[in-house]
Structure 1
Amino acid sequence: MAAGVMCPDHPEEKLRFLCVPCDRLVCRDCKLTDHEGHKSVDVAKTSDDTRQKLQGHVARLKERMKILNVVMEEAEDDRRAAMAAQRDIADEIRRRAAMMTECVKQLEQQALDTLDSAMNLVNDEIDSTVKDLEYRRGEIKDMVETTRSALSSMDTGDTYNPVLAFTLEHDLRSGRGKGENLEMLTEGLPVFSVRPILYRPVVLSEDTVRMFIGLPQFAQVSKATPRVSVSPVFNCGGASIAGINSICPMADGTVWIASDVGEGSSDQQVALFSQQGKLIREETLRGPVSLVRVTKVKAFVGGKYVAKILNASESCNVVLEKDYSSDQYQNISCKSENAIAVFSKLKLRYAIMSSQAAPPHCLCKMDVKHSSLPLAAFTFVRTMDCPRPVAMDVDSSGQFLAVVTCDQAVRVFRLSDQHPPSVYCPSGESFSPSDVCFYTIGGKEMLLVADWFNSTVNVLEYCDGIRFVSYFGSGCPLLQQPTALTQDDSGRLWVGCKDGHILTCSEAEGTEQK
């Protein structure tokens, strides 16, 4: 209240008091008359206290305002993060929808192509049948004309041939002559025949109909074939990846992958990925010193990857083993006459000693007891008279060795004898094996062969000769040119593709392919 405000009832007095019960300002006379006995306070004395309280209240409000501003900023940050997450999820949904759409389109085109091929076969068979019918109709027409001519000759008194009349009547009544030549016994008459009609109605079986829509992947084998489900894990590919050579799943869930670095390059890239496909570390191998270079990372053995190293002059071949937990290489073999061509993946440590010239090659087993020595000890197992090995694997019993050779074939050797191997190379088909792996399906160990050309994995029986059983990989998701196979400790099959996709395969419930 400003100083000098006068009381309306007592103009000579100022409003200096606040009547608490009435909640109004009064003067001294009002306090003594109308508001006598009411509790009142002196406004002048309490204004300073009130001002201080109000100032303190304003300060507290300002502090709360700051807190509210911080909370509002955090809320806006949450809004922006949620919107960014929404965009990422929407992009992922669109990406996966596009993948599914592309997969469906591929299945649709594959089904239409299969249907077109089947219809072409049906049309060819119908065309052949129509030609047979037309030919038969012409022959019957000729037979009718010949018969009429014979009858006409009898009616006109011309020379009557009883042999011809008897033959025609007998053949027409008995149906004799189908598929045979009916030779006319009278000189000058034509020779004609009735060809058998081999028309068969086309019946689409259940498997054929299902094949048209892309459902079965074992349409031509027994329905008892176990089902194998394929699941994508991640894509480690990119412009610098020219093909995956080897995969090593670790017990902690991480995955080591060795791949080529670009077409025509001898360099190798070894990278560690998480199960979600996040790159943890990578290294491009060009050799420990400038005089050597890495040509292939061929195996992961006991937590280490094994690389084949050639010196610049290529006068000798050195195989170095590198522990990926350190930056040190360990020389495990140095051969001036023979080179290490292939190492096995996991399990047993086998090596194929391949001369620079022609076969035979020598299969040796590495003695792990001497792994700490500068030169590892190798024990001879058997000779291998075959083209240059490319990839190999040993079965769980250690009795069979499967080898992919450079002539686009798969050979299975018995390690207990020197007998020639069984050879799998489909004749008349495009077949480009890139890797092999022994894998248990339906309680039976099978030989899996990655077919790079057809983008499938073939399932083979191998104990008593090689026999094709089935294949998988042409369904959804597709295997795009598989180049590497391996099995982890849990029984899952890992597949690496040329484009960098990593997939896992496992035996699923049921008997038909998903």
Structure 2
Amino acid sequence: MASKMQGSADFDERFLTCPEHEDQALTFYCEPCQTLVCVACTVVDHPRGDRHNPVEIGAVAERKKWDLQGLLENIQPRGREVEAALCDVKMEISELPTSANAAIAQATAYFDQLMALLRDRKEEVVEEIGSRCREVGKCLETQKEAIEFELAGLTSAFEFCKQAWEHGSDVHVIEVEGQARQRVEELLTAPTDLTARPSQVVFSEGTAVAEFRDDVARAGRVDVKVKVDASKCSVEIKPAVVGISNICLLDTNGQISSELKDDVTVTLNDPSGQAVPTKLEEKGKGLWEISYKPRVKGSHRLEVKVNGRSVAGSPYDIRVQRFHTPVLTIGREGCGEGELDDPTDVAVDMDGNIAVLEAGNKRVQIFDAKTGQSLRCFSVDGYHHFGIDIDSNGQFVVTSRVPFFGGDTQGIRVYSPDGKLTKTLKPDCLRDPRGVAVLQDGRMVVADWRQESCLLLQPDGSLIREIGKGQLQNPWFIAVDESRDLFFVTDYEADKVFVFDLEGKLKFKFGKRRENEGELQCPTGITVDPAGNIIVVNLTNRRVQVFGPNGTYLRTVAKVRRGNPEGIALTPDGNIAVACMNGHCVDLYKY
């Protein structure tokens, strides 16, 4: 029976009768034996019992039809894939001579150019040899004439002196000696230059023939190009904002390298159908960055094709928002999972997730930075929680202020990555901690509101030095740039950012209280980007502003929509996360 599967099914009538009882029709199916049988067989060879179970073929056939239908459903998708692949192969076979001819044309043009360069160089060298030969010949002719002239003078003087010496009388010798002396002295005083002149023109090989042979062997390369499978590519769409550079990520599953860049086409249109310029840049391992700067808000259409075929999900809709609109809002008011109550500060953990410190719920809640989904949370001790940072071991460092009703619950608490309390620090020098920043070696810089200064502490909480005493009025949040051994602290009351080195020396400060761009009004959250730029948020006018490493104003990123923005952090995706205390959420703005 198996051989019949190779061709069309054979429904010959002889298969409807029992091979053992030719006058009997096959009306039963013995399931244990998986054999069609007749009525006689159910009595003689396949009686119902432990070993046999003949059943009417109608019910079995119906069940088998369902099985066949399932097989059809399994075959059809694969069949379509195979048919599409066959069409691709046929097309590639038909296109192979064209690509080969194009490659031959390119190779011919390439080597013709190389040979033309060699011919041109040969003509230049031969012409230069002739020119140099003429120059040397002219120089030698000039020297020859000068030598011949001097030799003639010397010969004439020699013969004159010789004749006078051999044949002249005493009177004649006396008369001509002075004349001869003057002539000889003139000849010997200005002799002709007899030093060697360039006398040959030679050719030197700039590149040895053997070396050139190796270069020629490397000139041009023949590769077999494999078509990229568009179905294995994907695009990660990221939130976009008007007027600034935005990106999407094309993952080619390692298929596309720099040589195959031209196989990718990217088209982006704004809501009116106008094209938006895009740029494709390789990020390594088949990952490509599609960057663009939209001019208007609204739904944009992004189409990505590889070898003329759309990648999975293309075309995509990209929602471009206004400049001050968050690309993502995390949380809403409440105490449940994914809900927030009075978030005061944010930090980014070792996995790039956003850790939010909730003063109202007395907990730290971890969110996915891309989706805003709540991942986990853990409770924190104390009251009036203010600042959070994460050390090099992934531990959460949390500060708690003095409660309004008194008590000594203020301090610094350290929690393991899974939320277990590992230590509580309450050094005598600590009065009312606010923002905290942890250095790579475990030391901490803590803003102390009551002491109007910052405290540099050892990992065990012992004081190293007090910084900013007499200069700070109301220090709030802190950011550290260890590459420059600096830390930055916002002064809520002075409307300034103070910059100190870790030795305690004030390096510079910037800011003044006004409404204009680049000015500060009750600055709170602060962070530093990889380039050393300083990002600050104001509580009063809610602006998120960027200043250069020296405090020069650069730009305004956004104006926070909700009241009381406090702690901020920069996410790996290039967004600024802002803890909106009274808004009971965290807003992410495109940086």
TM-score, normalising length: structure 2: 0.32
Larger RCO (alpha carbons 8 Å, 6+ apart):
1
